[in-house]
Amino acid sequence: EIVLTQSPGTLSLSPGERATLSCRTSQSVSSTYLAWYQQKPGQAPRLLIHGASSRATGIPDRFSGSGSGTDFTLTISRLEPEDFAVYYCQQYGGSPRGITFGQGTRLEIK
């Protein structure tokens, strides 16, 4: 079973700053199967990035994803007030089929 470890647990930044969130996997995974989600209080998560670096429909270009192997990164170039939320990385495993989430990074206003 592949484990996803996100860091930091909490990130305190100000609007306009750059945010860098990390997701490390316990085994090498295909970039095709790595995604990022944003969740705001009381809401379901929203898909931000799929295939490690492709933005989902309607996602602003200040969100970008990168990485390969076991190290993946979500970058928010200039934080907007609405970006403060919890972010999860997610991996898909084909054998056996299944989805695994990281434990989340809380991005809070400093």
Partner 1 sequence: QVQLQESGPGLVKPSGTLSLNCAVSGGSISSGRWWGWVRQPPGKGLEWIGEIYHSGSTSYNPSLKSRVTISADKSKNQFSLNLSSVTAADTAVYYCVREDVVVMNWGQGTLVTVSS
Amino acid, res. 82: E
CB of 81 to partner 1, least distance (A): 23
SS3 for 93?
strand
Q: What's the gap between Cα 25 and its chain centre?
A: 12
Task: Provide the mask over 9-38, with x wherever binding to partner 1 is found by CB under 8 A and - wherever it is not.
Answer: -----------------------xx-x-x-
Contacting partner 1 within 35-64 (CB under 8 A): 35, 37, 44-47, 50
* CA within 13 Å, CB half, 78: 3
Binding site for partner 1 (CB under 8 A): 1, 32-33, 35, 37, 44-47, 50, 88, 90, 92, 96-104
